[in-house]
Amino acid sequence: MSAPPLPAGLLDRATLAVGPCTGPAVAGELAALTGRPVLAYDTAGRLTGAHGAADAPLVLVGPTLPPALRGDPRVRWFHSVNAGVDALLDGGWPAGVLLTRTVGRMGERIGQYALAWVLADCQGVPGHLARTAARTWRREPSELAAGQTALVYGTGRIGTAVAEALRAAGVRTVGVGRGEHAPGGPFDERVTAEEDGAWLGRARFVVDALPLTEATRDFFADTRLSALGGATFLNVGRGGTVSLPALGRALAAGQVSAAVLDVLADEPPAPGHPVWELPRTTVTSHSAGITADTDITEDFRAGWQALREGRVPELAVRVGRGY
């Protein structure tokens, strides 16, 4: 996307509305930024508040785009309060509607989450917790994180932040991403998904920070997982990028030594969900990178400013790619 996605002057006429579960602090910040009232829309797509012109363009900020608004020709820009947009794109995205997303400091939070679990694994924290619960005492050796190798799948904002956090502890990071991504950054090496085979058996940690697209659905299935040599697997991307049955088989065979899953394809999982039966697996309830109100307002502000200057927002979604 290179041409300005919205006509000049459209924002001057637009009506803003925030969706369900978007806090009043966000509405207040958007009102201050734009100098106009901010409406609300509900799950049925009904607008409430001080309406402007009936035919005014709509700029929406929220977690979902209800069907009634999805087909409304007045909608010209939707700013998602989430980083992942696969649910929004499911079934297609309305033509001519700009989609932007929220990242904020999410990468920093997820990077610290990944580092925390890497250090916990190196220090044997899960075993210590289990022995404390069982009231048993046993000294065990730990290992240093420095010098270990982590494969980080996804070299965008989230994956880059993960690599930055891990490198601070001396972990060697290999970024696995698209071939056209610029080299450099915090990764010690960069490879494509077609070139990761040489690293799978050498990785001590594998971090999944992939978006969910047709190309990444069940990306981690038997072929990749069975090639690991006892790595710890962390998923901070999207649940649908991992085949849980394949992960279960790799855990049983020891090809994956442990798993930490912050995201699942089915959330929340029912009490009888297979994920609860996976050995040596921790589930953390999609909490690695919880979005703050300031993340939403700052990323919207950046998009608003870019559009007023005739530029494409940095966080504009390339719908054809899915992120």
Q: How far apart are CA 238 and CA 210, in angstroms?
A: 7
> Residue 277: exposed, middle, or buried by beta-carbon count in 10 A (0-12, 13-18, 19+)?
exposed
Tally Cβ neighbours within 10 Å of residue 291.
19
b/e per residue 15-28 (b: at least 16 CB within 10 A) = bbbbbeebeeebbe
267 is catalytic: yes
238: annotated active-site residue = yes
- Dihedral (CA of 149, 152, 153, 156) sign: negative
DSSP code of 263? -
* Long-range CB contacts (within 8 A, 24+) of 264-269: 264/239, 265/238, 265/239, 265/240, 266/239, 267/239
- Rounded to 5 degrees, φ, ψ at 99 are -120, 125
Contact 200, 227 (CB under 8 A): yes
* Residues, the chain: 323
Catalytic residue among 109, 190, 204, 238: 238
**Catalytic site residue from 105, 286, 308, 311:** 286
DSSP 237: S
Cis peptide before 268 (omega within 30 of 0): yes
128 catalytic? Reply is no
Other Cβ atoms closer than 10 A to 114: 28
10, 57 contact by CB (below 8 A): yes
Q: Which of 143, 195, 267, 314 is catalytic?
A: 267
Active site residues: 238, 267, 286
